[in-house]
Amino acid sequence: MERIVVLDFGGQYNQLIARRVRELGVYSELLPRTASLESICAEGLSGIILTGGPDSVYAPNAKTCPDSIFQLGVPVLGICYGMQYIAHRFGGKIEARAREYADTPIQMGNHPLTAGMDAGYVWMNHNDSVVELPEGFSPIAETEHCIAAFANDAQRLYGIQFHAEVAHTPKGTLIFKNFLEKICGCRCGYRPENLADRLIDAIRAQVGESGRVLGALSGGVDSTVAAALVHKAIGSRLSCVFVDHGLLRHNEAEEVVAFYKDSLGLNITGVNAKERFLARLSGVTEPEQKRKIIGTEFVRVFEEESRKLKTADEDWFLLQGTIYPDVIESGTGASDTIKSHHNVGGLPKDIEFCGLVEPLRMLFKDEVRALGEAIGIPHDLVWRQPFPGPGLAIRILGDITEDKLSILRHSDAILREEIRLAGLQEAVWQYFTVFTGMRSVGVMGDQRTYDYAIGVRAVTSTDAMTVEWAELPYPVLRKISSRIIAEVAHVNRVVYDITSKPPGTIEWE
């Protein structure tokens, strides 16, 4: 399988680079800039991309990567800081000159990397610029203030100062298409729906002929597709557990357990662990602490369930529906930790399993959905609303109480019903309500109120790494607001979150 390695220097758009490469039909991995040569040179290496980052290459502690990547014989493309790093490494000159930010006029030269890119505007975000190129490098694009792209065909080194990965650069995808096809010679045949056999073989190899797997099911598409793959790989040696941690949506536990048994034929046990989770979370307000408590408690429950099933000579693995955004947001070593997902950064170090089975760990959400439909999971479940493992705990700002959970469940049920009645279930990527904890003055029934504000969040996306807020029709918003205020006790205000990601995240915590 053709493979592009994206080395992470800590830029904010790095996950988009990996995403764009996959969209064009080549498998990509986002690795830390300090990754071992062995991991970089694994199967199918066709090219390397160096990302942007916040450093200046001439600073004493500027981020670097192994020099050996330039001797591998595969093309290397630097983006923003990555371009400056290549130039600096080979003897060019970088200086802080006129800053360029947002839409910037550009002139494109005649080179295979920029083929089809017209003179126009690109998205810039830099203070430093390459002002002198190393020997053997030629400029292939320029702005008023900087060399905007270069090429060294003899050494197969390339750079662009602008961000072709963002939607703000018209035809930016062409840069990646040209790099993959014209520079790296890729066939671009990667499709996530064709991965099933490969993933099933990998599961069998990991678990062995006698190993057993405890499947942690949440009811979401990720854990469902993961369980379906493991079931195809090892059959009855998969035992699934659905934990009701008291942080689920209205009627969620009953619906999920029934679906897994009736529609997918999985061996599943439902565990009521409400009291223990809520007791551990009592008084906790900090989001990262919530996630780590929930991640630890999940594992402890799964350990207890596996003990009930174990015999002395069996090796047990824990199945999780971890996907690539979970891994990236939990930190790559170069980029900041955005939030520790309960199944990644929230896991305890000491677990009573031989290992984790995570067949979807390197896939984006839309890739998981394509794979799910390819292996026969019903369409309605594949497109079921994403629901985070920590559940409503990260949709309540502040401490968690039964009263707050009741308010949030009721408001969320109203939102989901109105979205369904409006026929928008698949047009909107994700939608939910948030208990903001904020109280404000209102008037209801000619009387003063001082009650809570509920936030409504609805977003569109393809991969969960970048999102835009959904432009819900005003009549739908009006109905949602009116019903929540009229039907949910202690709520007198509804607000709509119109923040994109970045700078926000999908969930509030």
Q: At 4, give phi and psi (nearest 5°).
A: -110, 130
> How far is the CA of 191 from the CAs of 17, 18, 24, 283, 370, in angstroms?
17, 14, 9, 46, 9
| Contact criterion met (CB below 8 Å) for 128 and 184 | no
Is 165 one of the annotated active-site residues of the chain?
Answer: yes
Which among 2, 29, 65, 80 is annotated as catalytic? Answer: 80
Is 80 one of the annotated active-site residues of the chain?
Answer: yes
Task: List the one residue out of 471, 472, 478, 508 whose CA is nearest residue 494.
Answer: 478
Which among 100, 165, 297, 418 is annotated as catalytic? Answer: 165
**Could you give the 3-state DSSP secondary structure of residue 301?**
helix
Question: Looking up tokens 């003179």, which residue turns up?
Answer: 119
* Measured distance between the N- and C-terminal CA atoms of the chain, rounded to whole angstroms: 37
Is 88 one of the annotated active-site residues of the chain?
Answer: no
Cis peptide bond prior to 112, omega within 30° of 0: no
Residue 151 β-bridge partners: 138, 158
Question: Looking up tokens 């996950």, which residue turns up?
Answer: 15
| Pairing assessment for the beta strands 447-460 and 468-469 based on DSSP bridges | antiparallel
Residue 106 β-bridge partners: 120
Alpha helices in 50-195 (DSSP H): 81-89, 173-178
Catalogue the active-site residues: 80, 163, 165
